[in-house]
Structure 1
Amino acid sequence: MTTPTSTLRRQNVLSLFQEFVEQSIAAGGSPKGLEAAFAEKLEVSRATWSMAKSGERPIGDKLARQFEDRCGQPSGWLDEERAPKGMSQAEQQFVALALKTYRETNSDGRKKLRQVLKTWSTDAA
């Protein structure tokens, strides 16, 4: 199954943002203001970055090339599928919730949880 370009671009720019955050904090920077600093690096408004990050605004060709250029990536980099480097905060929260639910229920509850996830996965495909 091929991932839509809009999804790839969003995932990849989020990866660039995560890298930016990690580098900034490793260099002794404060975690506050990193959203604004990244928007500044991309040369877009904070609102544009926020909407692109959340998926409210698709990242079109012009914006994709701008983001790549400002982050030192070759043209087309955002359009390539790549393995994620780690789990996002939302993914970590989901896994923690699923694990907590799994651990706190009995055998029947675990079976139901697995079945829901299998059904959901099949329906989404």
Structure 2
Amino acid sequence: MDPITIGGIFNIGGKLIDKLFPDPEQKAKAQLELLRLQQAGELEEVKTSLSAILAEAQSADPWTSRARPSFLYVVYILLLWSIPMGVLSIFRPDAAAAFTVGFKAWMIAIPDSILTLFGTVMTGYVLGRSWEKVRGAAK
């Protein structure tokens, strides 16, 4: 695996800024903040995190390399489940309400630290895949 360079991360950040901020003023502010982060050395931490994430993604062990995409599929299923739940709420509002209450209780029981970890993992996965695509390594 090639080491990640600060310049590569800065290029990815710049491309993301171009896509996320169509307003020139907002884009300039975001680019200035990215430059400030680079100069402050905070991007070095991101570089270390991304290199670990990319090493896992490129692992020959199928359990390691497929963990993040598999978890993302679980989230997709949960989101797509809202479609039949919407239909159920038309025909059996009491059943849909009971399911929703139970699901909410289940979600509240998940510790915040796990949800934070999920957000960190997904962010790292997306940034890692973006970096691979910019580099031309991913199809």
Same fold (TM over 0.5): no
The structure having more radius of gyration, on CA atoms, is 2
More helix by share: 2
